[in-house]
Amino acid sequence: MDSRERLLINEASVATGVAACKINQLLDDEVLPDSAAAKVADRRRLHAYAVPMVSLGATDGSKLSEGMRLDAMRQVERYAKENWRQLWRDPGSASGLRFESGCITISRGEKVTEAMAGLNKWAEARERVVEDPGVRGGMPVLRGTRAGVYEAADALAGEGLPAALK
């Protein structure tokens, strides 16, 4: 996955474990910088490199002053862009990442690692999905089957999918 690839808000939610409404709120409240998102066909999308920023915004970001939060976001954004290939291959490579401002130090490594691991899981699952106009009218299905992705997700949700993913 390229760092500039864009994810729908619900896809970023799956990757990070942060509710889609919370991600939209982070964008509306300008907690996430403008560079993190783009509108494509009137739908909000996040750059893949912004996934770790969502994690920061949803957790420690709300505890920081606006200036400190923006500095921390820029640091995570720069780190993610500069180290994308390494983060993609080894999410744990971010373990030492921390934000420092004056006497405040916030360890970001664990959250960045979790966000990147979630993004990797999402990307692996996405590879198992195909959209072929000749199969069920182009509805997303599991590769090699006619089983609809949304139908499968609904069935799993009834069985407690979030618990199964942990």
Positions of the chain with pLDDT lower than 70, given as ranges: 156-166
SS3 8: strand
**Is there a domain that residue 1 lies in?**
no
The pLDDT value recorded for residue 36 is 87
Tell whether 36 and 64 lie within a shared domain.
yes
pTM of this structure: 0.73
**Domains identified in the chain, total number:** 2
- The rounded distance, in Å, linking the Cα atoms of 32 and 74 is 10
Tell whether 25 and 54 lie within a shared domain.
yes
DSSP string, 69-129: HHHHHHHHHHHHHHTHHHHHH-GGGGTT-EEEETTEEEE-HHHHHHHHHHHHHHHHHHTTE
Q: Are the C-beta atoms of 110 and 93 separated by less than 8 Å?
A: no
Tell whether 97 and 42 lie within a shared domain.
yes
The pLDDT value recorded for residue 158 is 62
The pLDDT value recorded for residue 159 is 57
Tell whether 123 and 134 lie within a shared domain.
no
Tell whether 113 and 147 lie within a shared domain.
no
What residues contact 44, with CB distance under 8 A and at least 6 apart? 8, 9, 24, 27, 37, 38
Domain, as residue range, for 149: 129-166
The pLDDT value recorded for residue 24 is 92
